Amino acid sequence: MNYSKLTVRDVDVSGKRVLYRGDFNVPLDKATGEITDDGRITASMPTLRYLLDAGARVVACSHLGRPKGRPNPAMSLEPVRARLSELLGQEIKMSGECAGDEARAIADGLAPGELMMLENLRFCPEEEANDAGFAKTLADFADIYVSDAFGTVHRAHASTAGVAKYLPAVAGFLLAKELEVIGGALTSPARPFVAVLGGSKISDKMGVITNLLNVADSIIIGGGMAYTFIKATGGRIGASMLEPDRLDFARETWESAAKSGKRLLLPTDVIAAASIDDAEGTVLPARELPDDRMGLDIGPDTRARFVSEIAGAGTVIWNGPMGVFENPAFEAGTRALAEALALSDCASIIGGGDSAAAVRKFGLEDRMTHVSTGGGATLEFLEGINLPGIDCLLDKK
């Protein structure tokens, strides 16, 4: 994939109608309907302020939740509209529909420097179906399409890919940074390039492991997925998480790394307990766990080895925690890696999801080079495959 895409700075937006696809899929309090974390909204501010200051007439759109193609008041973008109004310091109008006569009338009445919102795109079943007619309807609102929703670029939906067939399509600042930082790490990283992979399952990251094995100098494996690797290489993992159908993949990956001279680091000791809800655990050898114990975090020796690997890195991409960090008894491994990255001079890239949640929990988000806003999109990006929401954007060359 070509990661060098045109951005809003490369096109003239003054006086133009702009369809802005943001990622406003924010968490809402089920009882009050209030936004509990506005991080995705604030992340859109640089692009939106640039567009409005340049005199663009902006039609903003997004999805929220999974309404399954039907209007659902509990998933309305109204709270997002209200928060955007506060942040931008101007009144923002909103249509009560994804598209239609009401939305058209509001859009036609926009003056330069004004913004409106469409209602939740997924209230319309045509959105997720990438219906050509619906994509054309959205495109008719604008002269230019600006994509800033990195979390949805792996979806071929009407608002993420379909509209680009009818409009010149460029990246907003948020998306452009994801492309620059993660794309740069995959194509021309400062070396040594260390990939840190954790989380529960190998099956979620098979493509990522295969791709990073080709481009990284070493790969650190932690979290629940490590135990399938340990089992595949002859270890006893007790009651730890295991994916029996991924044992062959783990064994082949281990052998491939050895043949290619790549370092693949597995835990040598772990914090083990009988349950993820236990208040404390015991340090045990990672390859000799009793049947009634499961590994729930990496142990002190493993922490030291992994931290040492990070300390010598030029680039680190991290996706997936080292253990059940939500429980304080099993957070030490994940915390140790986060603190090591915070102290390092390397390019530290946090691949969204639980890794991003962990660095935020430990108060270290601002000390990372980049914290991705994507979840599934980040994983597919790290696989090195073409993503429809990126592929549709205009190349700089």
40 counts as catalytic: yes
Residue type, 57: R
β-strand 282-285 against 269-273: which pairing, if any? antiparallel
Q: Which two tokens stand for residue 4?
A: 């060098």
In this structure, what is the dihedral angle of CA atoms 348, 333, 335, 205, given to the nearest 10 degrees? 50
Task: Please name every residue paired with 289 in a beta bridge, in sequence order, or none if there are none.
Answer: 237
- Give Cα 165 distance to the centre of its chain: 25
353 counts as catalytic: yes
Catalytic member of 104, 201, 305, 367 = 201
Catalytic member of 5, 17, 21, 40 = 40
Count of CB atoms situated within 10 Å of the CB of 3: 18
Catalytic member of 69, 207, 376, 384 = 376
Q: Which two tokens stand for residue 174?
A: 């948020």
351 counts as catalytic: no
User: Are 340 and 368 within 8 A, CB to CB?
Assistant: no
Q: Which two tokens stand for residue 200?
A: 């529960």
Q: What is the DSSP string of 267-306?
A: -SEEEEES-TT-S--EEEETTEE-TT-EEEEE-HHHHHHH
Cα 194 from Cα 309, distance rounded (Å): 8
Report CA-CA distances (Å) from 190 to 175, 369, 381.
22, 13, 19
151 counts as catalytic: no
Q: What is the DSSP string of 85-146?
A: HHHHTS--EE-SSSSSHHHHHHHHTPPTT-EEE---GGGSHHHHTT-HHHHHHHHTT-SEEE
Catalytic member of 353, 374, 375, 389 = 353
Q: Which residues are catalytic?
A: 40, 201, 353, 376
